Structure 1
Amino acid sequence: MADAAEIISRIRDRGANVAIDAGKLTIVDSHKLPAGSIAFIRANARAIADYLDREAAFEERAAILEYDGGLPRPMAEDFARLLLASAPRGVTPADWTWFCGKAAEIVERRAA
């Protein structure tokens, strides 16, 4: 399976883009891509769409933390990554929730 982040990076490096529009993966400026790209993108559409969804969730969470929470952007991005991460193997959901809560307390103190 191809790496969706790498696929998207290559698409964007060539001046094209992919986006989710009305629940459908669309390719913007597809004429800028080399032959065979469209078929490759379609074959990996589910992975690309999932990545774009995660990317959008991250950007939204980081923006909320930055603008509503008053955090500097780098801190907002770090905390957004933590909040969107899954608990490491061997860590119970209760422990992960506690850990994220403690991290939130630290972030709130630093932002104040």
Structure 2
Amino acid sequence: MSALAVLRALRSEGGTVSLDGGNLRLRAPAPLPPALVSAVRAEKPGLIRLLSGHADALDRLDDFEERAAILEFGGHLSRSEAERKAWDDIFGNSHDVFP
């Protein structure tokens, strides 16, 4: 699972993630599924890189999703290419999330 997929999954569960020093802080209205917690642990370095540059990453995620959809359908791009371009538009540095 990528850092982007983890952010999407956290948001779908009503959760948030923030950076506190070198630690990730998860918050959710109910316990998160163990698989999601494991995915957060596995993607910790990517999430830290992302949150270090964009503390408001979860807030920007909706803008990213909308931009990607516009590029995919209006620009006739593949979903992966649309997401790369949208990430660059909203966050910059797509190589941080899209290897």
Q: TM-score normalized by structure 1?
A: 0.44
As a proportion of its length, which structure holds more helix?
1
Structure scoring higher RCO (CA < 8 A, sep ≥ 6) equals: 2
Q: TM-score normalized by structure 2?
A: 0.48
